[in-house]
Structure 1
Amino acid sequence: MQSFHLPDMSCGHCASRIGQALKELDPQCRIEFALGEHRITVQSQQPREALAQALRTAGYPPA
């Protein structure tokens, strides 16, 4: 599992966009959101850098 701190994630709409971006990369990934902590945990077969790039492209660069 990979954990990412996403300072720009603040609401359910953000979580929806993030989920959509990661599911486009890996439809089988599992995502846990901690909105209050601005953190997500992703279980995926994709490498960390690919996940980070998908997050950046969606407008939520990891810190």
Structure 2
Amino acid sequence: MSKFNVPDMSCGHCVAAIEKAVATVDADAVLSFDLEARTVDVSSRLSEPELAELLDKEGYPNTLAG
């Protein structure tokens, strides 16, 4: 499981956009969002750098959390 800080993630639309982007490349990925903390946990076959790049391309700059 990888955890990302996503400071620009603030609403349900953001969540849906991120879910859709990840699902297009890994339909089996499991995502868990914390809008208040602006973090997303991702369990995926994709590597952390691949996930980070995917979030960036979707318009959500991010950093790896802890």
What TM-score bracket applies, with the shorter chain setting the length? over 0.9
Q: Which residue does 1:35 correspond to in 2?
A: 35
CA RMSD of aligned residues (A): 0.7
Is the 8 Å Cα contact of residues 9 and 15 (structure 1) preserved in structure 2?
yes
Paired residues, what number?
63
Normalised by the size of structure 1, how large is the TM-score?
Answer: 0.95
**What stretches of structure 2 of length at least 5 have no aligned partner?**
none
Among the aligned pairs, what percent are the same residue? 37
CA apart distance, 1:7: 0.2
Moved segments of 4+, more than 2 Å? none
Normalised by the size of structure 2, how large is the TM-score?
Answer: 0.91
Question: Whose helix proportion is higher, 1 or 2?
Answer: 1
CA apart distance, 1:45: 1.1
